[in-house]
Amino acid sequence: MNDPYTIREAATQDAPGTLAARLKRLGPSIVISGSIVGSGELILTSSLGAAAGFVLLWWVLMACWSKSIVQAELARYIVVSGDTYLRAMNRIPGKLPGPRGRVSWTLWFGLLAFIPGVVGVGGIIGGTGQALTLFMPAIDSRWTSTIIALVAAAILYSGTYPRLERTMLALVAGFTVATLVSAVAMQFTPYRISWGDAAAGMEFRLPAEHLVLALAMYGATGVNSSEIPTYSYWCIEKGYPSFIGGDRSDPAWLARARSWIGLLQADVWVTLAILTCATLPFFLLGAGVLHIEGLRPQGLETISVLSGMFTQTLGGWAYWLFGVAAFCILFSSVVAGIGGVTRLGPDYLVEFGLLERANIAARIQWTHGLGAVLPVASLFFYLAIPSPVTLLMIGALAGAVLLPIQSGATLWLQRNRMDPRVRPSAPVYLLLWLTFVFQVVMAVSVILHVLP
């Protein structure tokens, strides 16, 4: 497995100029899509549509589009500065005692949010197990989920996930296309969407009875609070900071930095296109089929109920298509999502002073070890609470509270630690500020309406 914590040694170079060459350099967006397109889209977005109907269409679009600005602007700082995500967060003012000295409060808050994040992964593992039971209904999903957790642990411990990456991403892409086809096919059934439905969904209403589920959906879908840092690590592994170089006195540094920032922004646009195409159809199918039928995904029947989105639009044969696709998308989400999180663990040890930054072998061992432990730890939450929707909501709501910290930190880092020559333009900076304010309001809503 590649070392995920240091800039890959490579000669400085400009970003490629031709379209074909630029497409070859895109990559972090494709890697992160394996975890972006997953449980939040399949389970929570569909559940929100099933519960609320079309009324929250505007909210789904907001969830897709508003977080990409943070993804892009934090990655801008990372590739220019050479910091890792946690090294950047540790620069935020407000120090608290740590194991070997004082560290930023943001590190402690991130660790606190890590616990409900593990709970949420339990929901994904449970959903994957339920998808498997569609083919083996005689086997309880708790047993199939146990198998899923052990297989994921073995893959992550061995470091063989990169070998499966292309296959899993192809399967995720196939499921996304199938979902788009199903959403289009819905227009030729009694569940078709009218212009009135679409107009009602853009009236910017947020019914109180759906607030908690809507907040959880926002926290889980698109580039969420765990995928924003993961994306920055993938950028480092792709060598973007190394290609820019760290010598800002070099006359060519500014041109190189701008060229790679441009490529990075193109990569973010690819991510945005993928997640929008993956998220919106799930909501439309949930609102157009499940809501009308009065079906609500919950408990051990979550995936079985969700299969109705395909069978009611494509026919009974699509039950098997949905089962295969749901398994692939959720299993990919488990492995890719945990694979990204394992890069944070050793970096925490470095920032806390418990591990030498130069000890690459130890950090890779920690990465593999966490990959083996986290799936099994998450499994226990599903065994205790066999409801993927409930577990995912717990993790997603905690993630929603973490989002404004990330956007606020991005604003501070760009203003105080970034070379002024490569800071974002005024409109981009304003959009980032608006996103930060919106996410603060959302986080306060989570605290007021969810916490006792």
Quick one: average pLDDT of 426-440? 94
Residue of higher predicted confidence among 166 and 189 = 189
Q: Is the pLDDT reported for residue 172 higher than 80?
A: no
Mean pLDDT of the chain: 84
Residue 223 belongs to a domain? yes
Instruction: Find the CATH number of the domain harbouring 183.
Output: 1.20.1740.10
Q: How many domains does the structure of the chain reveal?
A: 1
Contact (CB, 8 A) for 142 and 382: yes
With cut-offs at 50, 70 and 90, classify the pLDDT of residue 23: low
Q: How many helices (H) and strands (E) does the chain have?
A: 23, 2
Beta strands in 20-168 (DSSP E): 95-98, 101-104
Residue 6 belongs to a domain? no
The segment with the largest mean pLDDT, out of 123-137, 163-177, 232-246, is: 123-137
Residue 2 belongs to a domain? no
- pLDDT value, residue 171: 65
With cut-offs at 50, 70 and 90, classify the pLDDT of residue 396: confident
Residue 10 belongs to a domain? no
Residue 382 belongs to a domain? yes
Tokens read off for 322:
């949905």
Q: Provide the whole-model pTM.
A: 0.86
At how many degrees (to 10) do helices 318-341 and 360-384 cross? 140
Quick one: average pLDDT of 140-168? 81
- 420 lies in which domain range? 29-449
Q: Is the pLDDT reported for residue 27 higher than 70?
A: no
Residue 5 belongs to a domain? no
Residue 163 belongs to a domain? yes
Tokens read off for 131:
């998808």
CA distance 394 to 155: 26
Quick one: average pLDDT of 363-375? 90
Quick one: average pLDDT of 280-302? 84
- pLDDT value, residue 451: 63
Tokens read off for 121:
């992964």
Q: Is the pLDDT reported for residue 248 higher than 60?
A: yes
Tokens read off for 345:
């663990």
| DSSP string computed for 82-122 | ---HHHHHTTSS-EEEETTEEEEHHHHHHHHHHHHHHHHHH
Cα 45-47-50 angle, rounded to 5 deg: 115
Residue 12 belongs to a domain? no
Q: Is the pLDDT reported for residue 115 higher than 70?
A: yes
